[in-house]
Structure 1
């Protein structure tokens, strides 16, 4: 990036090369670190910018971009501390020429105390959301299990079945929430792992339909299309199932009419494109840019607002891209682009 262009960025930017030496520093980074460009350029970034986490540990030794796990691509925004106690929110990106290849560039984005306040508000919002989302199912579980234990002989089989099925559904809801929280923690720390293997995308799409039908949805509501011969895709089947389950579930709950699931070769690359589309009102134009942010719920009530944030993180962990727009039928259209071929790390192994 041109240094003059980098100076126009509102955040601090520091770029280090494959030898860990600083290659670029913008004006924002000078302001936030208190170091001039001349003091930083050409130096080992680990010495020029000593950073610690909030527990006092050396952050560079912990994250180790150049010698650590080859699957890591960086981490999302987190609080780090400079000598003297100055706090910064740092986002790191580890650029690699290929999946599993050595790091060619480390890009650090720095934010100031205003971003810290947003970070703290997010943290408080997360605690409030989790507390609210846990209270409702746990209250139901407690009430129904207590009733079944105390009145077993007076309840009909139909009443027992209803109560136990409700308890099971709420237990699943709590499990999904915990899974989301664990995934967010791993994504924010840059430690989300995907276990790649050859996957059958058509089978994964049809599995989503089977599960929705088993849950009571009409089979005729779902359309599955495979357009053209597909290249090989290596991905984590459990993570892909998590992505598709979230998107298809949203389409069923918030859309109307048919839900169209399709997969085809990517016309803009060597991979594949998966589309999940529904009918109905869709997402307002002014909200499209916020869909994948934490706590976004649109005009809906209930839910954590974390599902699509996790979906984006899981797609990006596969070196993929996800976007949202309006479908031709008027509803929401989610487009996932995934790379094809055997990952470099697996090929070398």
Structure 2
């Protein structure tokens, strides 16, 4: 998602939350106009505020039972998803367990007929009335009753009905003293049903508003970028967990407090203050140090207004760009390093070639020495180019096309150690191979060579004073484990988890003059873990050296490995 789209979604989210909070504060979320019809012939029944709706409805149900002399009163609400009329509390004269069982399809029974037609029904012999069979009259021991629709009406400014919706039905069951309900009872129940319908509609809308607000707040809270909404009085209206974590704020009790008391960054406070005053830049960059660690963020803001154009405050989004900046820095370093790495062998090749061309007096032995150096530099150049090409393939999701076969493990280890021993006169390169090593393993022979060669090159490069470079190898169950040990400068603890990242290099006084692209260990990790389904890690101590260790299966599942690399 682009930044503009994210900003639009964020602004809409915050505006909706504010609108819902305003509705809740006003206590009026219903689009229906509460009727002024009386609950009894003499006494008008005023619909109470939403927060008192449930208790008002309970009193109204009891009042209906008293006026009609009914033993039982049941309210049923239409559940659109289920297509059913469902009995809801409060009721009168019905146990909650039975009430929970009372539900009827909106196409069945007296309940469904009244709901669909919008007309009341009076029945005198419920057990024998075919219309009531689906209404579970036996469950509630119903003998007679009245069922009327619950209708809400939307009125215009001149109090004319412009919309009418049926939201359920209202039952009055079993006239007291063995009497029967009559037409006057029907008219009374219809009039009181208007109040019941309005209260239920308001309660339902209120619940929906609360649920929607909670969902929006949870969405706001779960967004991974930092979001802050500031009121026109420079107080925090909303602040999600990402923003609190960003500033190291451990409590969520921040709403209504001044930005200057909560946010420890002067840069951010100034941006928010300027935003409230209408003078902030659209986007800026700030540096924050939560827990003493420097992090970089882009901060972007926009004014939030309601439909009437009134300011609701100023909202900001903070995106962490620390990793991006570090990657840019590493790329710049890589370009410099790669240029040096390319230039060095080219300079040697050019120099020795020019020397040979300028003078014909060199002996056969001297010519072979010069050509040998040229060949070594060409190999060095080829390895660098291969690293660059392989990195590009990995980044683009392409396979390095492994070629799996069974090869002799001990022979491979001895060969690589011997080659590296000849490459350095300052280091003592040797192997310590356990007798329990398998004779052969399944893998990509060339890429196994590349893994070990890269690790030994790395060990030699970062041991500028010389010393031992040892290859340990042994069997552990169904796997082989190989260690490359050196006595070099070591790796600081904070870099151990990053050494296998692309372009990563440790910059300090000890290794500033050691050149490299920062791609070798990145490739090694891929060759171990993806090509050979193994695992690689490092253990190191500054000033004492490092152990690069990897494990891989002896009998690699070739089909599984190929599927992993496709």
Q: Same fold (TM over 0.5)?
A: yes
CA contact (8 A) 2:348 2:374 kept: yes
The reply on whether 1:264 has 2:264 as its aligned counterpart is no
Note the 1:167-246 alignment, pairs <5 A.
167-193=374-400, 194-215=402-423, 217=425, 221-230=429-438, 233-246=441-454
1:248 maps to which residue?
456
Distance in 1, matches of 2:324 and 2:350, equals: 38
| 1:206 positional shift | 0.8
Unpaired runs of at least 5, structure 1: 1-24, 32-110
| 1:138 positional shift | 1.2
Distance 1:164 1:116, change over 3 A: same
Larger Rg: 2
Distance in 2, matches of 1:265 and 1:177, equals: 32
Can you list the C-alpha shifts for 1:252-301, whole angstroms capped at 9, x where unaligned? 3434433322222336xx32211111235433334323322224155322
Distance in 1, matches of 2:470 and 2:439, equals: 21
1:279 maps to which residue?
487
Note the 1:269-348 alignment, pairs <5 A.
270-293=478-501, 294-297=503-506, 299-300=510-511, 301=513, 302-317=515-530, 318-326=532-540, 330-343=544-557, 345=559
Unpaired runs of at least 5, structure 2: 1-218, 227-318
Distance in 2, matches of 1:333 and 1:114, equals: 30
Distance in 1, matches of 2:561 and 2:522, equals: 31
| 1:177 positional shift | 0.3
**Structure with bigger RCO (C-alpha 8 Å, 6+ apart):** 1
Secondary structure of the structure 2 residue equivalent to 1:290: coil
TM-score of the two chains, using structure 2 as the length reference = 0.38
| 1:333 positional shift | 0.6
Distance in 2, matches of 1:159 and 1:347, equals: 48
CA contact (8 A) 2:420 2:429 kept: no
CA contact (8 A) 1:258 1:278 kept: yes
**What is the total number of aligned residue pairs between the two structures?**
243
Secondary structure of the structure 2 residue equivalent to 1:341: coil
| 1:203 positional shift | 1.9
| 1:248 positional shift | 1.7
Distance in 1, matches of 2:431 and 2:439, equals: 22
Can you list the C-alpha shifts for 1:19-55, whole angstroms capped at 9, x where unaligned? xxxxxx9945799xxxxxxxxxxxxxxxxxxxxxxxx
Distance in 2, matches of 1:342 and 1:319, equals: 8
Superposed CA RMSD: 3.6
Can you list the C-alpha shifts for 1:103-127, whole angstroms capped at 9, x where unaligned? xxxxxxxx97665555444444433
